[in-house]
Protein backbone atom coordinates (compact mmCIF):
# COMPACT_ATOMS: atom_id res chain seq x y z
CA UNK A 1 0.00 0.00 0.00
CA UNK A 2 2.82 2.39 0.85
CA UNK A 3 4.46 1.75 -2.52
CA UNK A 4 1.16 2.56 -4.27
CA UNK A 5 1.08 5.90 -2.43
CA UNK A 6 4.61 6.71 -3.63
CA UNK A 7 3.64 5.88 -7.19
CA UNK A 8 0.48 7.99 -7.10
CA UNK A 9 2.23 10.93 -5.46
CA UNK A 10 5.16 10.84 -7.87
CA UNK A 11 2.94 10.47 -10.92
CA UNK A 12 0.89 13.44 -9.79
CA UNK A 13 4.04 15.51 -9.30
CA UNK A 14 5.55 14.56 -12.63
CA UNK A 15 2.43 15.11 -14.69
CA UNK A 16 0.67 17.97 -12.90
CA UNK A 17 3.21 20.61 -11.96
CA UNK A 18 1.14 23.71 -12.65
CA UNK A 19 0.82 24.63 -8.96
CA UNK A 20 4.41 24.20 -7.86
CA UNK A 21 7.84 25.30 -8.97
CA UNK A 22 10.06 22.90 -10.93
CA UNK A 23 12.51 22.73 -8.02
CA UNK A 24 9.75 21.76 -5.60
CA UNK A 25 8.52 19.04 -7.98
CA UNK A 26 12.02 17.65 -8.31
CA UNK A 27 12.56 17.61 -4.54
CA UNK A 28 9.25 15.86 -3.88
CA UNK A 29 9.79 13.32 -6.65
CA UNK A 30 13.35 12.62 -5.43
CA UNK A 31 12.11 12.16 -1.88
CA UNK A 32 9.36 9.79 -3.02
CA UNK A 33 11.84 7.74 -5.03
CA UNK A 34 14.33 7.71 -2.14
CA UNK A 35 11.64 6.51 0.28
CA UNK A 36 10.50 3.83 -2.14
CA UNK A 37 14.06 2.54 -2.54
CA UNK A 38 14.56 2.47 1.22
CA UNK A 39 11.28 0.61 1.77
CA UNK A 40 12.12 -1.89 -0.98
CA UNK A 41 15.64 -2.85 0.10
CA UNK A 42 16.87 -0.70 3.00
CA UNK A 43 19.30 1.34 0.91
CA UNK A 44 19.45 5.05 1.75
CA UNK A 45 20.11 6.78 -1.56
CA UNK A 46 21.30 10.39 -1.51
CA UNK A 47 18.39 12.44 -2.86
CA UNK A 48 20.74 14.76 -4.73
CA UNK A 49 21.90 11.86 -6.93
CA UNK A 50 18.40 10.69 -7.89
CA UNK A 51 17.57 13.68 -10.11
CA UNK A 52 18.93 12.04 -13.25
CA UNK A 53 16.50 9.16 -12.82
CA UNK A 54 13.36 11.28 -12.46
CA UNK A 55 12.58 11.42 -16.21
CA UNK A 56 12.84 7.62 -16.28
CA UNK A 57 10.19 7.10 -13.58
CA UNK A 58 7.52 8.55 -15.83
CA UNK A 59 8.41 6.38 -18.84
CA UNK A 60 6.14 3.43 -19.30
CA UNK A 61 3.47 2.08 -17.04
CA UNK A 62 5.87 0.68 -14.47
CA UNK A 63 8.70 3.22 -14.62
CA UNK A 64 8.67 4.11 -10.92
CA UNK A 65 8.74 0.49 -9.74
CA UNK A 66 11.28 -0.51 -12.40
CA UNK A 67 13.72 2.21 -11.31
CA UNK A 68 13.21 1.30 -7.63
CA UNK A 69 14.03 -2.35 -8.33
CA UNK A 70 17.02 -1.46 -10.53
CA UNK A 71 18.53 0.77 -7.84
CA UNK A 72 18.06 -1.96 -5.22
CA UNK A 73 19.59 -4.60 -7.49
CA UNK A 74 22.60 -2.39 -8.21
CA UNK A 75 22.99 -1.53 -4.51
CA UNK A 76 22.94 -5.19 -3.48
CA UNK A 77 25.49 -6.10 -6.14
CA UNK A 78 27.87 -3.33 -5.00
CA UNK A 79 29.02 -5.59 -2.17
CA UNK A 80 29.55 -2.87 0.41
CA UNK A 81 29.11 -3.39 4.13
CA UNK A 82 26.33 -1.53 5.98
CA UNK A 83 27.40 2.03 6.64
CA UNK A 84 29.79 2.20 3.68
CA UNK A 85 28.80 4.60 0.92
CA UNK A 86 28.77 3.29 -2.63
CA UNK A 87 28.06 4.74 -6.04
CA UNK A 88 26.09 2.50 -8.39
CA UNK A 89 25.08 2.96 -12.01
CA UNK A 90 21.41 2.75 -12.95
CA UNK A 91 20.41 3.33 -16.56
CA UNK A 92 23.58 5.33 -17.15
CA UNK A 93 23.14 7.55 -14.09
CA UNK A 94 25.25 7.44 -10.93
CA UNK A 95 23.42 7.04 -7.63
CA UNK A 96 25.16 7.27 -4.24
CA UNK A 97 23.88 5.74 -1.05
CA UNK A 98 24.43 3.12 1.60
CA UNK A 99 22.75 0.40 3.58
CA UNK A 100 22.14 1.71 7.08
CA UNK A 101 23.73 0.20 10.16
CA UNK A 102 21.42 -1.87 12.40
CA UNK A 103 19.32 0.48 14.52
CA UNK A 104 20.25 3.56 12.47
CA UNK A 105 17.39 5.81 11.38
CA UNK A 106 17.11 6.85 7.72
Over residues 40-84, the pLDDT tens digits come to 999 999 999 999 999 888 777 788 999 999 999 999 999 999 999
Asked, for residue 105, whether it belongs to a domain, the answer is no
Asked, for residue 74, whether it belongs to a domain, the answer is yes
Exposed, middle or buried: residue 15 (CB in 10 Å: 0-12, 13-18, 19+)? exposed
- At residue 6, the pLDDT reads 60
Contact between 84 and 100 under an 8 Å Cβ cutoff? The reply is: no
Number of domains in the chain: 1
Domain that holds residue 81: 2-99
- Sheet with 86-90, edge to edge strand ranges: 43-45, 93-99, 86-90
Asked, for residue 104, whether it belongs to a domain, the answer is no
Asked, for residue 106, whether it belongs to a domain, the answer is no
Asked, for residue 76, whether it belongs to a domain, the answer is yes
Query: What are the C-alpha distances in Å from 48 to residues 2, 45, 79?
Result: 22, 9, 22
Amino acid sequence: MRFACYVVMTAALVFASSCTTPGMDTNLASTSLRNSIFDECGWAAESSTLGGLLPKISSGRDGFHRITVEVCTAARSAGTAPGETATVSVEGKSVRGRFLLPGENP
